[in-house]
Each structure stands twice: as structure tokens, then as C-alpha cells.
Amino acid sequence: MALRIPSLRRAARWVPALCVTLAMLALAGCSPDGYPQTTLAPKADFAELLDQVFRRSFQLATIVFFLVEGALVWALFRFRGKPGDAEPEQNHGNTVLEVVWTAIPAVILVFIAVPTVQTIFKTAEVPTDNPLVIEVTGHQWWWEFRYPEYNLVTAGDMHVPTGRTVDLRMTTGDVLHSFWTPQLAGKRDVFPKRDNRLWFKTETPGTYPGQCAEFCGTQHARMAFQVIAQAPADFDAWRVGLAAVSAPADSGAPAPDSLVARGQQLFATKACVGCHAVSAVGAPTMVGPNLAGVGSRSDIASGWLPNTDENLARWLKNPQAVKSGVLMPNLGLTDEEITALIAYLRSLSVVPAPGAVAMTATGN
Ligand code: CUA
């Protein structure tokens, strides 16, 4: 007994560390909805390919772990010293053993390397099955998505149709970024003056969180986006709706004394218009994100804030206080001006709300 209590005390010192580790593992499983930011629940062909390599490597590693640790533990007990034992035989080197434990890992590595290299080549292929091309541009700190087939541009939310391969042509407007939607595809870095490629096809409608995965400045952590996968009919409704969104003056002017008209006038005179386009059709790349459809996006500031009137007001009041380092300056807007601008931004909504039907109907 005298021996056991100190060893128990020593073991007890590890309890807090064990609790923290278990809590971290448990928290890692948390997710705000059914579409977590994880590579372990692939929902597209590209991610499935990666998952197969991961699972194969993990299975082999598990077998190796138990064989090696099992042999180690067995040897510890089988050959442990007892009081009065003579000194064991002393060896230096064993050629047969060394050859065996070099050869076995080499063979195991072949079983990992072959499928890995095959997957690298497969995922680097250029899709030829009539893919939907989307031009992706990273900016500090938001993502731009351009659909040449429809002459449309949007930001923040990348809508894709299910059942059709999307072929991403990716670059950056400033520094290095990395485009990553864990459930759909692997990471791809984006470089200036160079087009990188990435493709995937998903059959499962849903909203998949994505994140910039290359440090790109102070707000790197707040450079999120989502991929909204929609059944083809819903996707078509979204893109037609997006094309229809533009300055209300162009598509039936608001009543001249309305809040929306006041907001639109402020937008044109308070420098907003110098950095943001409000039409998605054929719009050039500007300093700030394209705002067509902003009224119905799920969040603002690149996934940082839910798109509520309250958060929009916080943002317009002082962008630097919400996300310091962004290019948008504090325009010194009054509360009355902010209310009018929010009314105007809400008028730039895609109707019906994108993906509302597809997302609630399918769940996970
Ligand atoms: Cu963009 Cu990190």
C-alpha cells in the first residue's frame, strides 16, 4: 500500500490534462448545423477520393500501431527483471531483425504511396463532362465568384447546381489565399498571375462552410465563405433572380420619398458606389464585394456576422471596429443614413431567398 498511494497521486496529476484533451475532442465534434466544416463527412466526388486515401492510411496505421505497441507491451512484461535475476545476455545489432524492420515499413509505404499518387493525378485532371466554370478570386478578405456562362458575378456565397461538375479557375487579386471547403474538395492555394484549378461534383443540396486556409493578413480567420449546392431548378431560380437584382431605379424606381430611394441616393453620393457594384450582370471586379443579392445573403463580412439589420448597422457605422484592417473606411454615417442604406441593401435581395426550399427539404 505504501508504494501505491504515491503512484496514484502521480497519476492524478494527469487528470486535468486528460479532461482538457477529451473536452477538445468532444468540442471538435460540435457544429452549428448539419454541414460541419470537416473532411470526415465528404459530400462530393473530389472529397470522397481524398477520404478514401485517408481511410486507407488510417487503417494501415491502426494495424501497425496495435502490432508494434502490442509487441512492446508484451516484451515489457515477458522480460521484466525480477530481484535476484542474473544480468541478461548483451547484444549489439541483429542483421536479420534490422533488414526485416526496414523492409516491412517499405512495403507498407508502397501500399500508401500508390493510391496517394493515383489520387493526385486523378484530382489534377481537367473535367470534360460539360462542367460549370466558376472563376474564383481571393481578396483581402472576401471571395469573388464569377460565372462566365451566365455573365454573373457574386461574392461570399458560391452557388452551385447539384449533379453537375463545377470547374473552378482560381486566382487572387492581392496576396496568397487558399480556397477550402472540407466537405467538397481539398485545399487549393491561389497565386497572383496564375490560374489554379479545382473541380468537384456534389449530389447533396446543402450549405457547405468554407474557409481561407492560407494566412493572408490580419483578418485571415474571417475570410470564410459558403458553397450553396442547389438542385438545378433552384440554382436556375437563384441565377435568374440574381440577374434581376440591380439598382431599383433600373427595374422600376422606388417611390421617390421612400426609405429605399433615400438609401439609393446615399449609396451614390457617400462613396459606396466607388467600391461596390450593385448589379451582378457583367460587373467588373471592384475594390469591395459585389452587392447584388446582398440583402438575402446569410451573412456579411465574409461569414463573420449573420446578415441582420443590427449587424449591418454595426458594420456601416464603423467597419474597422467590426473587422479591423478591411479596406472599407468609416464614412461617418448618421443613424438615419444607416437606416436608409440598410433599406436599400435589403432591396437588393434575390427573390425567392436562395436555396430556401432545397436546404430545408433535404436536411443532412
Ligand atoms: Cu485569405 Cu487567409
pLDDT tens digits, 127-184: 999 999 999 999 999 999 999 999 999 999 999 999 999 999 999 999 999 999 999 9
pLDDT of 341 above 70 = yes
Mode of pairing for the β-strands spanning 188-190 and 196-200: unpaired
**What's the pLDDT band for 364 if we cut at 50, 70, 90?**
very low
pLDDT (0 to 100) of residue 24: 87
Atom of ligand 1 lying closest to residue 140 CA:
1
CA distance 27 to 49: 27
Ligand 1, atom nearest to 213 Cα: 2
Distance CA 80, CA 73 (A): 10
Average pLDDT over residues 216-223: 93
* Residue 102: all three cell numbers together: 526496414
108 has pLDDT over 70: yes
Nearest CA to ligand 1 atom 1: 177
Residue 318 alpha carbon to ligand 1 centre in Å: 22
pLDDT at 123 over 90: yes
Strand order in the sheet with 224-230: 157-161, 224-230, 206-212, 177-180, 188-190
As a whole number, the mean pLDDT across the chain is 87
Q: Determine the Cα–Cα distance for residues 189 and 180; give it in Å rounded to an integer.
A: 9
Cα 325 to averaged position of ligand 1 atoms, centre (Å): 13
For 147, counting Cβ atoms within 10 Å of its Cβ (0-12 exposed, 13-18 middle, 19+ buried), the class is buried
Question: How far, in Å, is the centroid of ligand 1 from the Cα of 138?
Answer: 8
31: pLDDT strictly greater than 80: no
Q: How far is CA 246 from CA 92, 299, 351, in A?
A: 80, 19, 12
Helix (H, G, I), strand (E, B) or coil at 274: helix
Angle CA 193–135–160, to nearest 5: 155
pLDDT category of residue 5 using cuts at 50, 70 and 90: low
Give the pLDDT confidence score for residue 81 in this predicted structure. Answer: 86
Distance (Å) from CA 224 to ligand 1 centroid? 9
pLDDT at 106: 94
Q: How many angstroms separate the alpha carbon of residue 146 from the centre of ligand 1?
A: 19
Q: How far is the CA of 95 from the centre of ligand 1 (A)?
A: 51
CA distances from 342 to 17, 77, 215, 337 (A): 48, 72, 32, 9
Question: Closest ligand 1 atom to the C-alpha of 215?
Answer: 2
pLDDT band at residue 359, thresholds of 50, 70 and 90? Answer: very low
pLDDT for 361 equals: 37
pLDDT at 252: 57
Give the number of the atom of ligand 1 that is nearest the alpha carbon of residue 216: 2
Distance (Å) of CA 13 to CA 22, 24, 25, 115, 244: 15, 18, 20, 43, 64
Lowest mean pLDDT: which of 13-22, 32-41, 93-102, 242-251?
242-251
Ligand 1-lining residues (CB < 6 angstroms): 138, 141, 177, 212, 214-216, 220, 223
Residue 353 has pLDDT above 60, yes or no: no
